[in-house]
């Protein structure tokens, strides 16, 4: 039903291409403050032009909190542009894009938000307890409080943009085009993972980290299709990025923040199990727990089944559902 309900709105293939272009334009427009700031620093001689390709160097130009704003703002612009495209280009409501339920189920969002927030934070704290030499205390009260405000306001916009774009807009758009569920599930997971290839983590950890990114996209896509909505993927993604930004940072990660802890470990020494365990152990366990809580059934059809356009007279029924 999550994909099928799109037949009830304007769903021509070209509209999805235009919608993606509009979202990209939103990202570019909201990237301008960062570009302007770099231009000002360059004009006053504070930038070594020979190091412009060095991500760590570019991030060192500004305070971590300001850097975080610059990193997250484009996602906020992309989200705004995407939702405007959905509303005016497709005549689709945000609720309709989010879920098959009559209204967005925030209980689902907060359930997995706190579950994953506790689990992910617990993993970091356990690692800190077992290997304290790999960390240093990075806590500074005022910068941390500023970080909290920035992260709480902007991180959910960043994660929501990615979820609405990949698990929502593209999942639905590709689904109605190819008339099945497995193609949009695989494609959106692959593209989601590959778009992270520019992250600093990839340079340090190698291409094997793509297993984690693509696997995470697949996990979020499975949740969306099985639960017939984005609430769970929105909550998980927001918790994952928010708690990480607040709790731990490192010189080789995309989020370099005034977090509580700083990871000093050598990323090249990270074991392959640290990448594979979340994807092949932790995520399946979470799916099992969620399936029991929300009574998921008919996995094969929901993940691999065909999409059949309902008769015209059934559109109103779909809308009411």
User: Taking the CB of residue 283, how many other CB atoms lie within 10 A of it?
Assistant: 19
From the list 151, 184, 172, the residue with the least C-alpha distance to 93 is 172
Question: Which three-class secondary structure state does DSSP give residue 263?
Answer: strand
Task: Determine the average pLDDT of the residues in 296-310.
Answer: 92
User: Taking the CB of residue 221, how many other CB atoms lie within 10 A of it?
Assistant: 23
pLDDT at position 317, please? 43
Alpha helices, H only, 163-199: 171-178, 182-194
Identify the burial level of 104 via C-beta atoms within 10 angstroms of its C-beta, where 0-12 means exposed, 13-18 middle and 19 or more buried.
middle
Across the beta sheet with 135-137, the strand order is 135-137, 261-263, 248-249
pLDDT at position 254, please? 77
**β pairing state of 135-137 and 261-263:** antiparallel
Q: Give the pLDDT confidence of 5-32 residue by residue, as tens digits.
A: 999 999 999 999 999 999 999 999 999 9
Residues with Cβ within 8 Å of 228's Cβ and at least 6 positions away in sequence, in order, are: 1, 2, 99, 100, 101
User: Taking the CB of residue 132, how many other CB atoms lie within 10 A of it?
Assistant: 11
Phi/psi for 62 (5° steps) reads -130, 160
pTM above 0.85, yes or no: yes
Q: Give the pLDDT confidence of 197-238 residue by residue, as tens digits.
A: 877 777 777 788 899 999 999 999 999 999 999 999 999 999
Q: Taking a C-beta distance cutoff of 8 angstroms, is the pair 220, 91 a contact?
A: no
Q: Give the pLDDT confidence of 90-133 residue by residue, as tens digits.
A: 999 999 999 999 999 999 999 999 999 999 999 999 999 998 99
Alpha-carbon gap, residue 20 to 25, rounded angstroms: 9
Alpha-carbon gap, residue 133 to 182, rounded angstroms: 45
Q: Give the pLDDT confidence of 28-87 residue by residue, as tens digits.
A: 999 999 999 988 888 887 777 677 666 666 777 889 999 999 999 999 999 999 999 999
Domains of the chain, residue spans: 4-320
Alpha helices, H only, the chain: 13-29, 32-43, 55-59, 64-89, 94-98, 106-130, 141-162, 171-178, 182-194, 200-205, 210-227, 231-247, 273-277, 283-293, 299-304, 315-320
> Is residue 318 pLDDT above 50, yes or no?
no
């Amino acid at each position: 039903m999550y994909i099928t309900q799109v037949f009830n709105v304007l769903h021509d293939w070209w509209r999805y291409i235009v919608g993606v272009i509009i979202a990209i334009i939103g990202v570019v427009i909201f990237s301008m403050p960062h570009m302007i700031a770099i231009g000002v620093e360059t004009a006053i001689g504070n930038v070594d032009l020979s190091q412009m390709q060095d991500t760590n160097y570019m991030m060192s130009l500004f305070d971590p909190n300001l850097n975080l704003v610059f990193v997250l703002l484009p996602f906020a612009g992309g989200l705004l542009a995407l939702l405007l495209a959905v509303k005016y280009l497709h005549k689709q409501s945000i609720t309709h894009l989010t879920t098959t339920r009559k209204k967005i189920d925030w209980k689902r969002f907060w359930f997995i938000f706190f579950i994953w927030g506790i689990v992910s934070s617990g993993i970091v704290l356990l690692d800190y307890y077992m290997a304290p030499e790999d960390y240093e205390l990075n806590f500074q009260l005022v910068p941390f409080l500023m970080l909290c405000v920035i992260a709480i306001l902007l991180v959910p916009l960043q994660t929501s943009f990615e979820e609405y774009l990949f698990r929502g807009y593209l999942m639905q758009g590709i689904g109605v085009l190819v008339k099945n569920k497995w193609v949009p599930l695989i494609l959106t997971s692959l593209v989601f993972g590959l778009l992270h290839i520019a992250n600093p983590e990839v340079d340090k950890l190698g291409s094997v980290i793509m297993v984690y990114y693509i696997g995470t996209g697949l996990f979020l896509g499975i949740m969306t299709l099985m639960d017939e909505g984005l609430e769970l993927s929105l909550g998980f993604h927001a918790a994952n990025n928010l708690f990480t930004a607040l709790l731990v940072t490192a010189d080789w990660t995309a989020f370099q923040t005034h977090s509580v802890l700083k990871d000093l470990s050598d990323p090249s020494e990270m074991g392959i199990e640290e990448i594979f365990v979340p994807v092949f152990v932790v995520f399946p366990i979470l799916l099992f727990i969620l399936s029991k809580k929300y009574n998921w059934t008919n996995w094969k059809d929901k993940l691999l089944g065909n999409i059949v356009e309902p008769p015209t007279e059934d559109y109103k029924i779909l809308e009411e559902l």
